[in-house]
Amino acid sequence: AYDIANSCRFNDDDSAYMNITPSAGNRKTYTFSTWVKRANLGSDQVLLNGGGGGNPNTTIRFDSGNQFHVFEYTDGFVWRLQTNRLFRDVSAWLHIVVAVDTTQATDTNRVKIYINGTQETSFAENDYPAQDTDYSINNNVQHNIGNNASSNYFDGYMAETVFIDGLALTPTSFGEFDSDSPTIWKPKNVSGLTFGTNGTYLQFSDSANLGDDTSGNTNDWSETNLDATDQATDTPTNNFC
């Protein structure tokens, strides 16, 4: 079995987050994958933002109603997917994959959300991106993990956080059901994936450098209000009470 040793604790009371400003990459096709354990409900909490909170920006977050929401915003929603399902379990780890490929001819194939290996198909809002359009993630603008510029801080833990530049992957690249856990989604080793130029793999294994990219690209993220005590051993393979 594949074991995850560490996670990163994001305490919203500390205004903790990470950021990077990448070179412009593939803005049509990418994948974001992370394991999360929520610690506080009922507020907008950002997992990933591209655009630094300005106009335009692409955001992946939990909403104040505890729905999961992915959107592009420019003085209003350009496109968005917001789940009907609510995510209110603060005792369990969730695996989230958001795969974007605006080159797809069928609009419903341009953004896919997977939770614990299963695609979300029931949405309160389901306006899809325009075909072959570049959006904010992977542009040469500030990207944040854990907040939207100076607000909407995530409160909880993240582990095995991956950004793939140039490929829209399915969850089987990051996890699996197997004979030992036929009904429980569990992580697998992602070190062999093709991450792409701006790709990132955050294992949070260095307490002195929690934003260290271990993909081989050295796309390190800068930490704000995070320190060595925010490295945790509560992980998807070692879930604390």
pTM above 0.85, yes or no: yes
pLDDT in tens, 46-93: 999 999 777 899 999 999 999 999 999 999 999 999 999 999 999 999
Q: How confident is the model at residue 1 (pLDDT cuts 50, 70, 90)?
A: confident
Q: How confident is the model at residue 231 (pLDDT cuts 50, 70, 90)?
A: very high
DSSP 39-101: ---SS-EEEEEESTTSSSEEEEEE-TTSEEEEEEESSSEEEEEEEEEE---SSS-EEEEEEEE
- Given this model, what pLDDT does residue 150 score? 85
pLDDT in tens, 160-205: 999 999 999 999 999 999 888 899 999 999 999 999 999 999 999 9
